[in-house]
Amino acid sequence: MYRITLIPGDGTGPEITEAARRVLEATGVGFEWDIQNAGEDVYKEEGTPLPERVIESIKRNKVAIKGPITTPVGTGFRSVNVTLRQTLDLYSCVRPCKTYKGAKTRYEGIDLVIFRENTEDLYAGIEFQKDSEGAKAIIDTVRKISGRSIRQDSGISIKPISVFGTERIVRAAFEYARKNKRRKVTAVHKANIMKFSDGLFLEVAREVARRYPDIEFEDKIVDNMCMQLVQKPGLYDVLVLPNLYGDIVSDLAAGLVGGLGLAPGANIGDEYAVFEATHGSAPKYKGLNKVNPLAVILSGVMMLRHLGETEAADRLDNAIASVIEEGKDVTYDMKPDPDDPGAATTSGVADAIISRIT
Ligand code: NAD
């Protein structure tokens, strides 16, 4: 019996996580769900969208599955998702992008896994508003120490990339490659321009790669990588990227395999792991039993693998593949015509999968 923190989230989160809970239980693996609400409604009731009890629960259970959470604009608090990743030091964002037969996509045979660094780079949140004391101090300091001038009316975001942060994300990518019998890891960067941040990322990646002689290593400049992924996605296997490029390239890769409805994800650290779809809360569809639950269900497949339940994960993945291939019990976004009146509901997709789990 696994005790797992279940965060339904808001918007369409509760509907899709309920679908995921039902299919995960149908695999026969025993779960005890520690349900922890977070997000918009919780903010109204408890004054914070992410109460301490949610963090405590994940620390207790080590593993969580989560629905998306809306980041309200203009309320002054940071994204719950970013706070969770930082508080629990979930430094690897893992996003597999695999084509399923029958999914609406331009490509076949794609099987990529993206490792995005989750804690540093331009996402570290170290920013200085135009005309602020901080921005002025940085402009002065840069002038003094390098003789370079930054325009006075600039806003500034800092891009820290460390040996520590790079070493652990590249190691995570190689460990994954070894464990899952992957052939190649590609480090993606812009080291030709940002020599001391991306250059360091590349240097550390090369050093880590030497410890894994059984796995091929190469590096690619991020702009070239984007073109290559569109032209020859089959050439790539595991990609490891700093935070910003990882964010952008993982959406590009999700687009290659059929869109956000099919893009699962995991945020993993040394102690805790939180599994969630790549997409957001799609609030306009809230309560309609309409959106695609497959991304969060596929995140559940990743969770089963993380728990060591490989056989149950394979059975669930096969049931999902069979539903997609048949193309009948899929939601509107996966139908050739999105207005198809025969599109399945969120709960209908879960029922179809459950009926096929062997
Ligand atoms: P979104 O992913 O919620 O929705 C964008 C569009 O994608 C939707 O309008 C819908 O057409 C489609 N879509 C998304 N999920 C779908 C699904 N399961 N099935 C079918 N179609 C789907 O992105 P957004 O509108 O930019 O963000 C809405 C809110 O979600 C924002 O507040 C954002 O901050 C938040 N968000 C949360 C997370 C997270 O919790 N990890 C991630 C991204 C965005």
The CATH number for 344's domain is: 3.40.718.10
Same domain? 128 vs 193: no
Domain count, the chain: 3
Sheet holding 266-268, edge to edge: 31-35, 2-7, 63-66, 273-276, 266-268, 92-98, 111-117, 238-241, 184-189, 216-221
User: What beta strand segments (E) does 111-224 contain?
Assistant: 111-117, 127-128, 156-157, 184-189, 216-221
Same domain? 267 vs 347: yes
Same domain? 337 vs 289: yes
Report which ligand 1 atom has the smallest distance to the Cα of 73.
32
Same domain? 114 vs 144: no
CA 68 / ligand 1 centre spacing (Å): 8
The set of protein residues with a Cβ atom below 6 angstroms from ligand 1 is 68-71, 81, 260-261, 276, 279-282, 284, 291-292, 295, 333
Residue 67: partners with Cβ closer than 8 Å, 6 or more residues away: 7, 8, 9, 10, 11, 12, 13, 14, 16, 17, 276, 277, 281, 296
What is the CB neighbour count within 10 angstroms for residue 285? 16
Same domain? 74 vs 88: yes
Say what the pLDDT of residue 75 is. Answer: 61
Report which ligand 1 atom has the smallest distance to the Cα of 9.
40
Q: What is the pLDDT of residues 79-89, one digit of tens each?
A: 888 889 989 99
Same domain? 135 vs 44: no
Domain coverage including residue 167: 106-119+162-257
Q: DSSP character for 267?
A: E
| Residue 52 counted as domain residue | yes
Q: Which run of H or of E encompasses 5?
A: strand 2-7
CA 193 / ligand 1 centre spacing (Å): 33
Q: Which of 223, 284, 328, 340 is catalytic?
A: 223
Same domain? 52 vs 135: no
Which ranges of the chain have pLDDT less than 70?
A: 74-77
What's the rounded Cα separation, in Å, for the pair 244 and 229?
17
| Residue 235 counted as domain residue | yes
Q: Which of 91, 100, 123, 272 is catalytic?
A: 123
CA 22 / ligand 1 centre spacing (Å): 22
Q: Mind giving me the DSSP string for 113-137?
A: EEEEE-SSGGGG--EE-TTSHHHHH
Residue 147: partners with Cβ closer than 8 Å, 6 or more residues away: none
Catalytic annotation on 270?
A: no
Same domain? 88 vs 144: no
| Residue 40 counted as domain residue | yes
| Residue 101 counted as domain residue | no
Say what the pLDDT of residue 289 is. Answer: 97
Report which ligand 1 atom has the smallest distance to the Cα of 279.
2
CA 114 / ligand 1 centre spacing (Å): 20
What is the CB neighbour count within 10 angstroms for residue 108? 11
Q: DSSP character for 95?
A: E
Say what the pLDDT of residue 74 is. Answer: 64
Same domain? 205 vs 170: yes
The helix/strand/coil state of 80 is: helix
Task: Give the gyration radius of the chain's Cα atoms.
Answer: 21
Atom 34 in ligand 1: which residue has the minimum CA distance? Answer: 71
Q: Which of 10, 121, 198, 247 is catalytic?
A: 247
Catalytic annotation on 34?
A: no
Same domain? 178 vs 126: no
Q: What is the pTM of this model?
A: 0.93
Catalytic annotation on 219?
A: no
Report which ligand 1 atom has the smallest distance to the Cα of 284.
9
CATH code (residue 176): 3.40.50
Nearest to 303 by CA among 262, 279, 263, 274: 274
**Which of 81, 123, 260 for a ligand 1 pocket mutation test, highest count of atoms within 8 Å of Cβ?**
260
Nearest to 37 by CA among 78, 66, 8, 67: 8
Catalytic annotation on 123?
A: yes
CA 357 / ligand 1 centre spacing (Å): 28
Say what the pLDDT of residue 44 is. Answer: 87
**Which of 250, 281, 332 for a ligand 1 pocket mutation test, highest count of atoms within 8 Å of Cβ?**
281
Report which ligand 1 atom has the smallest distance to the Cα of 80.
40
